Structure 1
């Protein structure tokens, strides 16, 4: 069974690869995009506004995440700055000590006094050289920490600006959605007051049905006007119309016309 499933999967994969880039796949993609667009257009504005409101509320989660990151960054920047300040202070003290020892070596005659110790000039020079090397290494570490602190400060400032921008954008989006919701409510009222309803409410359906019924009545009235002429029928007149009895009987009482006799003047006269 597993072997059959693997074979079917391979065949399906090969079929997809074979169809990729063909006209059939292009048509399928086009139909999919058209269906998606139609589905999006069919969403009522009220539901879309509710969805946008929900999306805006989700920004609070992003804002909280950013706040946590910023808070951590601020604390770490302060700690790093304290460490850099301590390193700077230590380097300053070490440099001063090394300078004092260098002066002592220069002025020494036979032995050099380092605090409570007395050592030879050669030993003093060796210690001074080791001290200068440590100072150099510490300075490199200080430079690295100062560079790191500068970058962390830039990162902290960027997070602060990002947080401010996100808060402003959320407020702006909220205001825009509320304004859109108000516009939609006004539009709904205008649609209710208008004889041409453009939404799918029950009121719109009633108005549309009334308009259709009115059109049917007008059509029947127009048919009543057209039928007599179309069927060559004259409208009946009532007995108490404007004609008199004599007028009505005139066709019957009119004298009959005598047939006319024709004479040919060219015929010869017979005696």
Structure 2
């Protein structure tokens, strides 16, 4: 089965070479890149944001591992500092003993007494030589420890800075992911708003209907007022004469010609 797949793959590659010549490889690379971009663009943004959150969460074990390394190194550095302090005390004491023996030998005595016992100058010289060799070895060891202490302090400081940088980068990534999520929600809200469709023609028809109803009501109101003016009751504010005949007679006068009555008025 694998052999068939290999043969088919080689055949397709040779076919591309025949069709496209020396540019076949560039076509293959371009097609692969295009397919990769297409697949990446087809992945939902929500999924990518969640994937980023998971990747940030996966940084936790690495951070804890570095914290453990730093804590262990701090313990080792403290222990080394204690060793250096103890070695300094020992060297100071041995230096005092060396100077004492040297001073005694410089006095030129035949016998030297230490801790209740007598020693010859030769014995003191041998002891001084042995002590001096041990002193030089311990001094060299102390110097090595001091250099080691300086190197480990530099390494410890570098590890602390690396951890602080990792924590700062992690926090920054978390903030950026939160910003991306907020932007995604804003885009989703904008897309939802753009999907709302309002039928302006229906709104126009409703406005037209309302205007028509208002016109009809205005016309009806005018008709009612007109009918009231022509066929309404006698207004109560103005008094009417008791006898219209008397008023007419009074207007024209008793038996006066019409022209004279008009002239009088």
Distance 1:143 1:107 in 2: 33
Deviation at 1:26, TM superposition (A): 3.8
Partner residue in 2 for 1:96: 96
> What secondary structure is seen at the aligned counterpart in 2 of 1:71?
helix
Partner residue in 1 for 2:29: 29
Greater radius of gyration (CA) = 2
Matching of residues 78-157 of structure 1 within 5 Å: 78-157=78-157
Q: Deviations over 1:74-128 (max 9, x none)?
A: 1111111111111111111111111111111112411122333321112211211
Structure 1 residues 189, 142: closer, same or farther in 2, change over 3 A? same
Partner residue in 2 for 1:257: none
Runs of 4+ in 1 over 6 A off after TM superposition: none
Q: Which has the higher contact order (CA 8 A, sep 6+)?
A: 2
> What secondary structure is seen at the aligned counterpart in 1 of 2:109?
coil
Does 2:45 align with 1:53? Answer: no
Alignment length (residue pairs): 185
CA RMSD of aligned residues (A): 2.7
Q: TM-score, with normalisation over the residues of structure 1?
A: 0.62
Q: Deviations over 1:43-83 (max 9, x none)?
A: 22111111111111111111111111111111111111111
Structure 1 residues 185, 116: closer, same or farther in 2, change over 3 A? same
Distance 2:23 2:130 in 1: 79
> What secondary structure is seen at the aligned counterpart in 1 of 2:55?
helix
Distance 2:150 2:117 in 1: 42
Structure 1 residues 132, 23: closer, same or farther in 2, change over 3 A? farther
Please identify which structure carries the higher helix content: 2
8 A Cα contact 1:110 1:121, kept in partner: yes
> What secondary structure is seen at the aligned counterpart in 1 of 2:144?
helix
Distance 1:82 1:176 in 2: 45
Listed as ranges, the gaps of 5+ residues in structure 1 are 196-202, 211-271
Q: TM-score, with normalisation over the residues of structure 2?
A: 0.63
Distance 2:123 2:25 in 1: 86
Distance 2:30 2:118 in 1: 93
8 A Cα contact 1:52 1:177, kept in partner: yes
Distance 2:175 2:109 in 1: 84
Deviation at 1:140, TM superposition (A): 1.0
8 A Cα contact 1:101 1:114, kept in partner: no
Distance 1:181 1:136 in 2: 67
Deviation at 1:32, TM superposition (A): 1.7
8 A Cα contact 1:104 1:113, kept in partner: no
Partner residue in 2 for 1:62: 62
Deviation at 1:29, TM superposition (A): 2.7
Partner residue in 1 for 2:174: 174
